[in-house]
Amino acid sequence: MSTREFIQLFLMCVEAFFVVYMVGYASFLFLSVTVGSSELYAARRRNELKNELENDYYLPVSIIVPAHNEGVTIEATIKSLLALEYKLYEIIVVDDGSTDDTARVVRDGFNMLRVDRPIQRRIACQPERAIYESRQWKVPVTLVMKENGGKADALNMGINVAKYPYFLCIDADSVLQYDSLEKIARPILEDSRTVAVGGAVRPCNGAVIENGHVTRYRMPKNLLASMQVLEYDRSFLASRILFDKFNGNIIISGAFGLFRKSLVIAAGGYDDDTMGEDMELVVKLHVFCRETGTPYRIRYAPDAICWTQVPEKLGDLCKQRRRWHIGLFQSMMKHRNILANPKYGAVSFVSYFYFLLYELFSPYIEIFGVMTMILAYFVDLINVPFMLLFFAIYVVYTAILSLTAFLARIHTIDMKLYFADLIKAVGLCVVEVSCLRFIMAWVRTTALIGYKKKRKTWGRIERQTIEFK
Amino acid sequence: MGSEVLIYGYGLVCLSMLAFNLIYSLYLRGAGRRTRRRKEHMAAVVVPALSGSRVPEGHTERMADMLRQVKDLLALDDYLQTLPEEIAGEYITRIAGIFPGLAKYYDGRDDMFCAYFSHFVQRWGRYMAGERRKLAQTISLYANKNSLYCRINALKALCTLGDAGVLLDALVYLAAENEEDFPINDKIVVELLLKFEGDSREFIELIWDRFERFPPLHQRALLDYIRFKSGDYSDKMLEILTDTGRDKELRLSAIRYFTRYPDERARTSLLGFVSDKDPANWEYAAIAASALAEYPGEDSVDVLSEAMHSGNWYVRSNSAESLEKLGFRYEDLLGKAAAEDRYAREMLTYRLETRMLNAERDKAKEAAKA
């Protein structure tokens, strides 16, 4: 076999692989966006016809806010939590050894007094330096200052301090919509087997939030942030609603998730050895419940909304995505026994497989595809017009699905869509798919180089004051 | 060529999705206007029937026909809410005869519509006095449908209609059919039952008659309901409290009952729970420690003082709180405990600080009022 024949055979194999890979991806995306959109429209119809739980009972919830050098945003975050239309909750801020004025901002802003509160340490974590409390607000606010140990360690401290049977973790750069706690608690009231619920995370860049209500929503001025709006809508609408149909969600964003405390403690709490502690915990809960025969549901509440700041600088975005990819890698490797394991059913054969192939391996596959094209070009084995057509179809296809997800989200939460924003969304969804995605693929491909050195560190992105009135 | 067809096929599907979104946008734009018109039309139909001693001839038949459309049921509900309650109620009473038939009609329709019909009955059912029995029997069938919201709305409607027997039958059936598939949170069941508008005494007697037919999760909800409604059932609660074979949650519910309605016959059991040092039984100990605040006496003080040394945070915390309610000052207890036990000392110090924080809160509230 000559070299050219060998290359030809190799390229044929690659072509066959990519056809299967892309058909799989396109079908999954189509299925998930269709299921997601129709679920949102059906939920809207259900609400119109009073097919919903009208809350007379409030699940007691401890809100844990882990913070490290969040002096810029922490006050707005706590204010948003105090504005929640919910009756039974407490707020616990865990300052994980900040070197800025995070603790001072919280202490001064909320009139806190130092207390000697005994802590029942049911999950190991770094020791506390001081505890402050205030009862002057709608609900008790607690600040725990502790030795630096990473985000997972801070969350474990929060769980130890929490008084209530359910806890909600949110990021210190996020604000909750006024009804989000009520909405995220509903799946637990609807089905008592529910052990964890994830909410929808939306970029707040461009939004004006007054007392927990979004009074004005525009696409962010910053183009990078606008592209992330489209990306968030696609990913939250798509896979999570579909996976929810078969109890297959293996990720709940660390920015907004509700958990049954006793079960998390029994499973060992957050793992402070991984960067993706949020995903690791959810996968661990699947494993724990299945191994112990505990009936469970892990749900997604698309109408429970948390507004978060997304990076506006490419460097910050790259840092964030690198961190996410390492977290994904660590979680999947740690629980690799799930793969092709019939005991885990659809969690193994659909969710885990999807995340492995289309999230963890996808950047390598995409870069490999580009390199193969270059090789084919040099040996004159590529049909350039067809390649361009294929690429154009790919871009249009994915862009339309992103737009569908974006519009479905806008329609079902009664937001006003400005014409200029629609035009912006149409233009940017093409740019996001054709440019940003490839930059992110490169970032994720190189993410694992030297990742062990970054253990137990907090991701840093430049914060801006959140407009919370 | 095959892959091209596939790609164009997907492209076409996506364009269809985009078209759907655009059409839906236009539909939503007109939705408000359509709802307003429907409500105006309903008002025009209903207003002539509000005056006089009887509804105009043919009105009842017309409404029976119209309300088969769920959007007209929605419009009627919207319109009635704009009227004073007594006028709206009087109107519903006049046309009440159509609702049993409508209930049967909706039984054959989508669960979502059944749920809405139940919601309507929940809101206006108290004005359908003459038809309650017939309506309740049909709506109890909705409680067995697949949709959770339909079940809950149906149970709420049954609570409004106030027929104890039908409601309990529906609950028994729901529990038996769906113990594995749909364990509705017990707190929801309690909230539902608290809305029962019939004779609660008759309802509670029926609950005791059929108590053993429910699974423990629902039994707990029923006990909680009884606790919220009445303190007249100490004998039966005492049986549950002392029956070691009973589910833990039921016995905990019984402890809460005896916290709300103190009864000397429960004292020995409560003291026993708090004295139990088995870590696996900490929930009994913690809740019984709170209960002992209502049982003054040397024995309670001794047991609570001992529980201040428990390894469990909640047992210590509740014991400290109960001791304060029994007339002890944290400061005195602290002096005694300081030399003995770090756990007790820490908890008492924290309770003192908590009291200070609460005082600050009260001060801030008074200042805000002023």
Residue A468 has pLDDT above 70, yes or no: no
Residue A314: pLDDT above 90?
yes
Q: Find, in chain B, the residue whose alpha carbon is nearest to that of A188.
A: B185
Q: Which two tokens stand for residue B190?
A: 């309690």
Q: In A, which residues are within 8 Å of B350 by CB distance?
A: 115-118
Is position B246 within any domain? no
> Predicted ipTM?
0.75
Chain A, nearest residue to B70 by Cα? A49
pLDDT at B179 (0 to 100): 57
- Could you read off the pLDDT of A268-312 as tens digits, one per residue? 999 988 888 999 999 999 999 999 999 999 999 988 999 888 999
Please list every residue in chain B whose beta carbon sits closer than 8 Å to the beta carbon of residue A136.
360-361, 364
| B346 reaches A (C-beta below 8 A) | yes
In chain A, the residue whose alpha carbon lies closest to the alpha carbon of B116 is A49
Tokens 């996968």 sit at which residue?
A283
Per the CB < 8 Å rule, is B187 touching A57? yes
pLDDT score recorded for residue A459: 61
Q: Are B99 and B121 in contact (CB under 8 A)?
A: yes
Per DSSP, the three-state class of A194 is strand
Tell me the chain A residues in contact with residue B217 when contact means C-beta distances shorter than 8 Å: 192
Contacts of B346 in chain A (CB under 8 A): 116, 118
- Which has the closest alpha carbon to B197: B122, B257, B138? B122
Cβ distance B14 to A396 less than 8 Å, yes or no, reads yes
Report yes or no: B367 at the A interface, CB cutoff 8 Å.
no
Please report the pLDDT score of residue B338 as a whole number.
55
List of chain B residues whose C-beta atoms are within 8 Å of the C-beta of residue A12: none
Measure Cα distances from B28 to A244, B38, B278, B307 in Å. 27, 16, 61, 62
Contacts of residue A27, defined as CB under 8 A and 6 or more positions apart, other chains included, come to none
Whether the pLDDT of residue B109 is over 70: the answer is: yes
Residue with tokens 């696409």: A219
Nearest to B357 among A50, A135, A189 (CB): A135
B11-20, B137-146, B336-345, range with greatest mean pLDDT: B137-146
B160 part of a folded domain: no
- Asked if B6 reaches chain A (Cβ–Cβ under 8 Å), the answer is yes
- Residue B314 three-state SS: helix
* Backbone φ, ψ for residue A214 (5° rounding): -80, 110
**pLDDT for B327:** 85
Looking at residue B369, what is its pLDDT?
77
Q: Do A136 and B361 touch (CB under 8 A)?
A: yes
Query: Within a 10 A sphere around the Cβ of A321, how many other Cβ atoms?
Result: 18
Q: Which residues of A152-174 are buried (b: 16+ CB within 10 A; e: fewer)?
A: bbbbbbbbbbbeeebbbbbbbbb
Look at residue B324 in the predicted model and tell me its pLDDT: 87
Higher pLDDT, B350 or B334: B350
Look at residue A145 and give its three-state secondary structure: strand
Task: Using a CB–CB cutoff of 8 Å, tell me whether B344 touches chain A.
Answer: no
CB distance B28–A411 less than 8 Å?
Answer: yes
Nearest CB neighbour to B183, from listed A26, A191, A407: A191
How many other β-carbons are positioned within 10 Å of the β-carbon of residue A101? 15
Among all residues of chain B, which has the CA nearest to that of A22?
Answer: B7
- Residue B43's pLDDT band, with cuts at 50, 70 and 90, is very high
- Model confidence at A55, pLDDT cuts 50, 70, 90, reads low
Is any Cβ of chain A less than 8 angstroms from the Cβ of B328? no
Cβ contact (<8 Å) for A408 and B21? yes
Work out the average pLDDT over A129-138: 92
Question: Which residue is associated with the tokens 């994830």?
Answer: A198
* Long-range CB contacts for residues B329-332, cutoff 8 Å, separation at least 24: B330/B355
Question: Who has greater pLDDT, B330 or A17?
Answer: A17
* Contacts B188 to A, Cβ<8 Å: 53, 57, 189-190
List of chain B residues whose C-beta atoms are within 8 Å of the C-beta of residue A117: 350, 353
* pLDDT tens digits for range B144-173: 888 888 988 999 999 999 999 999 988 888
| Rounded CA separation A179/A175 (Å) | 12
Nearest to B153 among A50, A135, A400 (CB): A50
Residue A304 phi/psi, 5° resolution?
-90, 115
What pLDDT band is residue A127 in, cutting at 50, 70 and 90?
very high
The whole-number average pLDDT for the span B76-86 is 94
Is the Cβ pair B356, A113 closer than 8 Å? yes
* B115 contacts A50? CB cut-off 8 A: yes
Using 50, 70 and 90 to split pLDDT, how confident is the model at A463?
low
B152 with A53: Cβ contact below 8 A: yes
Contacts of residue B70 in chain A, CB cutoff 8 Å? 49
Q: Is the pLDDT of residue A239 over 90?
A: no
pLDDT at B182: 52
Report yes or no: B334 at the A interface, CB cutoff 8 Å. no
Residue B300 domain-assigned? Answer: no
Condensed to tens digits (0 to 9), the pLDDT of residues A424-453 reads 998 999 998 888 988 998 999 998 887 665
Structure tokens, A74: 């922490």
Number of domains in chain B: 1
Residue B57, domain extent: 33-131
Q: What pLDDT band is residue B178 in, cutting at 50, 70 and 90?
A: low
B116, A33: Cβ pair inside 8 Å?
no
Cβ separation of B74 and A49 shorter than 8 Å?
A: yes
- For residue B303, the Cα-to-chain-centroid distance in whole angstroms is 35
User: Do B358 and A400 lie within an 8 Å CB cutoff?
Assistant: no
Q: What's the average model confidence in pLDDT over A363-372?
A: 88
Please report the pLDDT score of residue A325 as a whole number. Answer: 92
- pLDDT value of residue A191: 84
Residues of B in contact with A37 (CB under 8 A): 17
pLDDT of residue B176: 73
B343 in contact with chain A, both atoms CB, cutoff 8 A = yes
Please, are residues B139 and B161 in contact by the beta-carbon 8 Å criterion? Answer: yes
Q: Do B188 and A53 touch (CB under 8 A)?
A: yes
Give the separation between CA A428 and CA A222, rounded to whole angstroms.
Answer: 11
Closest Cα in chain A to B71: A49
Which of A281-290, B246-255, B300-309 comes out lowest in average pLDDT? Answer: B300-309
Tell me which DSSP letter residue A360 carries: I
A202 within 8 A of A307, measured Cβ to Cβ: yes
- Please state, for a pLDDT cut of 70, what percent of chain B lies above it: 94
Section A38-47 average pLDDT = 84
Beta-bridge partners for A96: A146
Average pLDDT of chain A is: 88
Q: What is the pLDDT of residue B299?
A: 94
pLDDT at A455 over 60: no
B353 touching A, CB under 8 A? Answer: yes
The reply to whether B183 falls in a domain is no
For chain B, give the percent of residues with pLDDT over 90. 58
> Does position A113 have pLDDT exceeding 70, yes or no?
yes
* Closest CB to B185 among A30, A189, A408: A189
pLDDT of residue A50: 87
Would you call B353 and A116 a contact, using CB atoms and an 8 Å cutoff? yes
Determine contact: B282 vs chain A, CB below 8 A: no
Chain A contact for B113, CB < 8 A?
yes
Distance from CA of A411 to the nearest CA of B (A): 7
Q: What is the pLDDT of residue A457?
A: 62
> Which chain A residue has its CA at the smallest distance from B181's CA?
A191
Q: Can you give the pLDDT at residue A453? A: 52
More confident residue, A465 or A165: A165
Question: How many Cβ contacts (< 8 angstroms) between chains A and B?
Answer: 129
Closest B-chain CA to A52: B149
Mean pLDDT of B283-294: 96
Q: Determine the 3-state secondary structure of A128 from DSSP.
A: strand
pLDDT-wise least confident of A324-338, A389-403, B63-77, B249-263: A389-403
pLDDT at A266: 96
Among candidates B183, B357, B364 on the partner chain, residue whose Cβ is nearest the Cβ of A192: B183
Residues found in chain A = 469
Mean pLDDT of chain B: 88
Give Cβ neighbours of residue B273 (< 8 Å, ≥ 6 apart): B255, B281, B284, B285, B287, B288
Note whether residue B274 is domain-resident: no
B17, A406 contact by CB (below 8 A): no
Quote the CA–CA distance of A437 and A366 in Å, as a whole number. Answer: 10
**pLDDT confidence bin for A377, thresholds 50/70/90:** confident
Within 8 A of B349 by CB-CB distance, chain A residues are: 116
Question: Which positions 199-258 of B are in contact with A (Cβ < 8 Å)?
Answer: 217
Cβ contact, residue pair B191, A57, below 8 Å: yes
B350/A188 touch (CB, cutoff 8 Å), yes or no: no
**pLDDT of A181 above 80:** yes
